[in-house]
Structure formats: C-alpha cells, structure tokens
C-alpha cells in the first residue's frame, strides 16, 4: 500500500502536472486523429495522408519527453529504493547518498543535453521530407527535458531536499 503524497507536494505540482497533462493529451489526440484518418483513407479510398506518419512520430517524441519531465517532480521515475532503504535511519549517510543521486541525475542531464544540443544544431540545416519542418524539432524535446530535470535536480540539491522514498511499498 503506498502512502499518498503530502498536501504540500500536491499543491506545488498541480499547475505543472496539469499543464503537462494537457500538452500530452493534445499530442495524443492529434496523433490518434491523424492515424485514424490515414487508416480510413488508405483502406477505404486507396489513398492516404503522407504527413500522418511524420506528424505522429514528431508528436510521439514530444509526448514522451513531456511525460518524462512531468514524472520527475512527482517521483515517478525508476527508483532503487531498496539500496537506500538500508541507510534511511542513518541521516549522514542518507544525506550523502541523496546528494550523490542528485549529482548523478545532473550528470545524466548534462550528457543528454549535450547530445541533444548537437542534434539540434545538425537539424537546423535540414528539413523533414514531407512536412518540411526543421529537423531540429525532433531532438529539441530531449534538450528541453534535460534542462528541466537538471534544473529541478539542482534546485533539490541546493535545498538539500530529502529523498522521496515513497516507492518502498513497491519493493518486494
């Protein structure tokens, strides 16, 4: 049985979570309509919308990275709580482990952001085949995701926020 989040956490993330849920819903809705129309046209009338596949791919990439960004403050990313649960009663070790985890998250964000930036720069000079949008739009959500999660992790590191061990109920 999991414990519900504290009221402060719910108030703090409600606006952000609502905004990201709306963005992901829009992406999913446009993808579904686009693919449905393409399937109906292809099988019903022998033609299709060439842009449907490209648009769906672009929106799917954006939706995944918006979701990953929204999952971080909610504590919904994969967590190895069994490793830190053993030291949760020792405050100094727990503080050091929490700092180490946040530094590793920052390092991962730097690596992802650097690679995404390189792909954005490469994509500025080319356009997609069918829709003609700059190919930089495909890696851009990875860059924005790494910047957002990195900023949240850095803020938590500066504030020395305790590690959320709310996942302990999922460990067997």
Domain ranges of the chain: 7-170
Say how far apart CA 2 and CA 35 lie, in whole Å. Answer: 37
Q: Answer yes or no: is pLDDT of 144 > 80.
A: yes
Mean pLDDT for 92-115 is: 93
Under a CB-based contact definition with an 8 Å cutoff, are residues 147 and 112 in contact? no
Q: Answer yes or no: is pLDDT of 73 > 90.
A: no
**CB neighbours of 86 closer than 8 A, spacing ≥ 6?**
none
Mean pLDDT for 31-57 is: 90
Say how far apart CA 32 and CA 96 lie, in whole Å. Answer: 46
Say how far apart CA 164 and CA 13 lie, in whole Å. Answer: 15
Q: Answer yes or no: is pLDDT of 11 > 70.
A: no
Q: Answer yes or no: is pLDDT of 87 > 70.
A: yes
Q: What does residue 160 show for φ and ψ, rounded to 5 degrees?
A: 55, 45
* Per-chain mean pLDDT for the chain: 85
* Model confidence, pTM: 0.81
Q: Answer yes or no: is pLDDT of 111 > 80.
A: yes
Q: Answer yes or no: is pLDDT of 37 > 50.
A: yes
């Amino acid at each position: 049985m999991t414990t519900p989040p504290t009221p402060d956490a719910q108030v703090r993330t409600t606006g952000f979570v609502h905004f990201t849920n709306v963005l992901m819903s829009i992406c999913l809705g446009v993808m579904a309509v686009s693919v449905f129309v393409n399937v109906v046209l292809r099988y019903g009338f022998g033609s299709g919308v060439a842009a449907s596949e490209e648009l769906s791919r672009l929106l799917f990439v954006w939706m995944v990275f918006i979701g990953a960004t929204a999952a971080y403050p909610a504590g919904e990313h994969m967590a190895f709580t069994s490793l830190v649960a053993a030291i949760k009663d020792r405050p100094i070790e727990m503080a050091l482990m929490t700092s180490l985890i946040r530094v590793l998250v920052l390092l991962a964000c730097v690596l992802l952001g650097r690679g995404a930036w390189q792909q954005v720069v490469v994509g500025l000079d080319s356009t997609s085949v069918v829709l003609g949008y700059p190919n930089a739009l495909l890696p851009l959500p990875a860059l924005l995701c790494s910047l957002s999660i990195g900023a949240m992790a850095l803020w938590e590191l500066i504030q020395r926020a305790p590690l959320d061990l709310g996942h302990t109920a999922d460990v067997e």
